[in-house]
Amino acid sequence: MQYQTELLTAKSALRQAALLTSAVQKKLLEKDVLEKEDRSPVTVADFGSQAIVNYVLANSFPTDKMIAEEGSEELRKPENEKLFLHLEEEVKKIVPLSGEAILRSIDHGRTDDPKALSRFWTLDPIDGTKGFLRGDHYAIALALIENGEVKAAALACPNMQAPNGETGLLCLASENQKTVFTSLFTDSPNVEATEALNKNFAEAVICESVESGHTSHSRAEKIRESLGVQAEPFRIDSQCKYASVALGLSDIYLRLPKSLEYKEKIWDHAAGYLIVKSAGGSVTDTLGRKVDFSTPPLLENDLGIVASRSVDHAKLIEAVKASA
């Protein structure tokens, strides 16, 4: 089946990266956090996860390009030497990389002209960094894009429950394969996404970001009231929201931008998009348009995101438009 090699490689990459991120989360130290220029926190786990994923992908697909969130620039600064030494210590436990090789792996596949790419991977090595720092949910999100279409996706949610009851969920999908769920840390059978039961909006659960800076909670409440949704919103960090919709833990995911100028980043949505679509769901922007992944690193032609799996998506979009 097409893209099976890519999915198997992505599965291996995310499993290995998750070993590092889980270990770091358990023993998070103050020295492991620095502030990037945009003031968002970044940790050893972000850099380590990206180094490991890129290392695994490069061994199987050495010419493929990568559009990822992190770069090695901060780690090369003298004031971050201690951070790098801890990063090196953690990475070496998982893959045979050290020193400059780690920095090169973090930057593997980078390009100055991402929009010219016909095939590339996109990675968020720690999606939901603030949740990670709180000890809560986060995701490692990897997707393959060809000619503006998401072809394969792997989404690791280390603190979500797998079908076998273990902690650590891995979601896998391709354009011609139904989404499957399995254990992130142990070998267990894949479980296919079940058919979604049709629900009326009163029964639906809306999933949204924990951080109010990422989405308009007040607008989401307006939508909830207009549709007659009874349940309180389910708030969870990262692309775990997409996983929750694909699993049926929630029915709707709203990512509502606070300004018309804000553009979503491609690595924040590509993997989750395909996980929900291949589970039988619908994913559009807030105007009901097909999500356009052809303008990396941003979703330049889209306004927010609306995902659903068990409700009338067209009616949902009408309510979203009316709330603007």
**16 phi/psi in degrees, rounded to 5:** -70, -40
Both 187 and 206 in a single domain?
A: no
Catalytic-role residue among 43, 129, 284, 286: 129
What's the number of domains the chain is made of?
A: 2
Mean pLDDT, range 266-290, rounded to an integer: 98
Both 148 and 50 in a single domain?
A: yes
Query: Domain span at residue 269?
Result: 201-323
pLDDT at site 295: 97
Q: What CATH number is given to the structural domain containing 18?
A: 3.30.540.10
What are the pLDDT digits (tens) for 216-263? 888 999 999 999 999 999 999 999 999 999 999 999 999 998 888 999
Both 119 and 257 in a single domain?
A: no
Q: Look at residue 108 and give its three-state secondary structure.
A: coil
Residues in contact with 112: Cβ distance below 8 Å, sequence separation at least 6, in sequence order: none
Catalytic-role residue among 9, 32, 46, 268: 46
Both 74 and 183 in a single domain?
A: yes
Q: What CATH number is given to the structural domain containing 208?
A: 3.40.190.80
pLDDT at site 209: 85
84 and 162 Cβ atoms separated by less than 8 Å: no
Measured distance CA(141)–CA(157) in Å, rounded: 9
The verdict on whether 129 is a catalytic residue reads yes
pTM comes to: 0.94
Measured distance CA(233)–CA(165) in Å, rounded: 24
- In this predicted structure, the answer to whether residue 167 has a pLDDT above a threshold of 90 is yes
User: Biggest alpha carbon distance in the chain?
Assistant: 57
The helix (run of H) or strand (run of E) holding residue 241 is helix 240-247
The verdict on whether 113 is a catalytic residue reads no
- Across the beta sheet with 65-68, the strand order is 65-68, 119-127, 139-146, 149-161, 167-174, 177-183, 191-192
Average pLDDT, the chain: 93
Both 228 and 317 in a single domain?
A: yes
Both 163 and 227 in a single domain?
A: no
Both 166 and 250 in a single domain?
A: no
